[in-house]
Structure 1
Amino acid sequence: MGLGRIKSETSGQRTGLLRGFSLEMTGKDVQALEEAADLLPPGTRVNVTYLGNEDFTTRVNAARVVRERGLTPVPHLSARRLRSKQELEEFLAALGEAGATEEVCVVGGDLGEPAGPYEDSLAVIRSGLLPEYGVRQVSVAGYPEGHPHIAPHLLWRLLEEKHRALRQQEIGMTVITQFGFDSGLVVDWVGEARDHGIGSPVRVGVPGPAGVKRLLRYARRFGVKSSAGIAQKYGFSLTNLLGTAGPDRFILSLGERLDPVGHGEVLLHFYTFGGLRATAQWVRDNESAVAS
């Protein structure tokens, strides 16, 4: 899809979505961040994931580098990977020393059984430890296309309980959705969140530009539905798996469907499957196109 069409059709909505975007890195992506930093607006939120194959020091160092580059670190806390209350406190303390505890993202984690006392992200929130270590804003996960192991009614109940628990601790909440390819499902989900009393900002998960094969691989991993459906809605061809796909069509459709009054604050969160710099460059190029 050409940028001229994007500009002429929905420049206002799309510019608003691209403004204030966030993106994601792993602890081992420090060099990639260095290479992308000049393309990122000051203060851009950069989530630092909590992967099982990375250690404590790697995660904290990545958050420190994000801060040193004039960006806003949002380190992840993976509830099921935390082995003890002491480990959680040590991690929060180290993040505090790195200037990286004002905002965190609390996720359940993908272990079948908890490694310690925290069964899910709500348990970490209810521990009461977050405000003690300077946390003022918490991101939690949202699932517009559902969760493979959690029923929809339970997902909504848990989101409401997280919202309530954070408000009681005077901590702000942001919802970051898992990435998807169907803008209609996303917009319907945001509307339903508002109906459930969740007025928090929503950051819609979007895959940055990446190879088609890689996108399909991550889609299967995270439970996104059929490859044929993805291709139809996202605008790439299954006969050209060597190609690259960007989020142009998805974001255009999202901008057309969103109503600022009814849907509230909606921003974008990029999953950088194709690389940090490629994603940052894509945003820079598209921002320039719609602003000109």
Structure 2
Amino acid sequence: MEADSAQIKLAELLAGYSLEMTGKDVGELAAARELIDVGTRVNITFLSGEDRGLRLAAAAAVKAYGFTPVPHISARRLASRAALEEFLRELGRVGAVDNVFVAGGDPDEPQGPFGDSLSVIESGLLETHGVQRVSIAGYPEGHPGIPDHVLWPSLTSKLAGLRGRGLAAEIVTQFGFDADPVLDWIAAVRERGIDIPIRVGVPGPAGVRRLLRYAARFGVGTSATLARRYGADLLATAGPDAFLRALATDHHPDQHGRIGLHFYTFGGLRATTQWISDFRTGQQPATS
């Protein structure tokens, strides 16, 4: 009976998953589109090596294929207020401004007037240009550059800012390999009276060496050691099936509320969607 319940919850989680892509992944998206449900949310990253035109083309492609584009806005990468306004205007022109993901971004020093995601939210530009829903980041295992005692007030301030501007919100967490710290963090979020949807970050199938590299980069410290359990060696390819089953088994709606899944594809959008399709249909996804 418990196994059946976990299977049902796993199917529910997978029913509304979202994906992540870069501006260079339009060809991968085209190859994978038949495997992706209409309306699926697809986040488009804001990377330093990709210009605005590439991001806009990716957002337009997501929209054209019948999915929901969620362009990233990296606060510290914005050179000026005008740069943010122009990006939002152009997203509006391609029909991709309704949903955005706002993050502080990688640079240690801001390249313009926005030092963090809260400053973008408080600029008033999002709602002015038609944004309706904003995703923000959550860090179940902490952030390598931000102490925990800062993360909680930051989260609540951003949510208060969004609520005050009439913008819907959701949290997308950093990826992990261990369901326990993720669910513990979600429970702590709920204990603080935050009831918005949370999407749990899931690493798509990738080489173990690559997973470890991303884990170290993004501060997934506790989980990094567990990544080795997914492959026989550093040259193996790992899939998140064990993580997903643990998440479904230990997720309790009365304690954790509404959660979904967000797949980080690490450059393998087609491989990730194929893995999801196989996993949903009960096939054994190929991971090596």
Does the 8 Å contact 1:64/1:98 carry over to 2? yes
Q: How far apart are the structure 2 equivalents of 1:116 and 1:274?
A: 28
SS across alignment from 1:255: helix
Deviation at 1:262, TM superposition (A): 1.9
- Give the C-alpha shift of residue 226 in structure 1: 6.0
Map of 1:236 onto structure 2: 230
Structure 1 residues 137 and 17: alpha-carbon distance in aligned structure 2, compared to 1, 3 A threshold: same
TM-score (norm 1): 0.93
State the shift of 1:284 in Å.
Answer: 1.1
Residue in 1 aligned with 2:26?
30
Query: Which one-letter code corresponds to 1:275 in the other structure?
Result: G
Quote the offset at 1:212 in angstroms.
Answer: 1.2
Amino acid at match of 1:76: H
- On the 8 A contact 2:212/2:224 being kept in 1, the answer is no
Query: For the residues of structure 1 that align with 2:198 and 2:6, how far apart are their CA atoms?
Result: 20
Counterpart of 1:3?
none
Aligned to 1:91: 87
- The structure 2 residue matched to 1:16, chosen from 12, 16, 20, is 12
Change (3 A) 1:228 1:266: closer
Partner of 2:272: 279
Deviation at 1:7, TM superposition (A): 7.1
Q: Which amino acid aligns with 2:109?
A: E
1:289 aligns with 2:285: no
Q: Which residue of 1 aligns with 2:54?
A: 58
Aligned length: 282
Q: Is the 8 A contact 1:211 1:274 kept in 2?
A: no
What amino acid is the match of 1:241?
Answer: L
Deviation at 1:231, TM superposition (A): 3.4
TM superposition score normalised by structure 2: 0.94
Confirm or deny: 8 A CA contact 2:21 2:267 kept in the other structure.
Answer: no
Aligned twin of 2:35: 39
Q: Mark the runs of 5 or more structure 2 residues left unpaired by the alignment.
A: 284-288
Contact 1:208–1:274 (8 Å) recurs in 2? no
Alignment of 1:1-292 (within 5 A): 10-225=6-221, 229-231=225-227, 235-237=229-231, 239-273=232-266, 275-289=268-282
Residue 79 of structure 1 and its aligned partner are, at CA, apart by: 0.1
User: 1:78-136 deviations in whole A, cap 9, x for unaligned?
Assistant: 00000111000000000000100100000100001000000000000000110111111
Q: Distance in 2 between matches of 1:138 and 1:254?
A: 25
CA deviation profile, 1:249-283 (whole Å, cap 9, x unmatched): 00100111111122111000000026111111111
> Per the alignment, in what secondary structure is the counterpart of residue 69 of structure 2?
strand
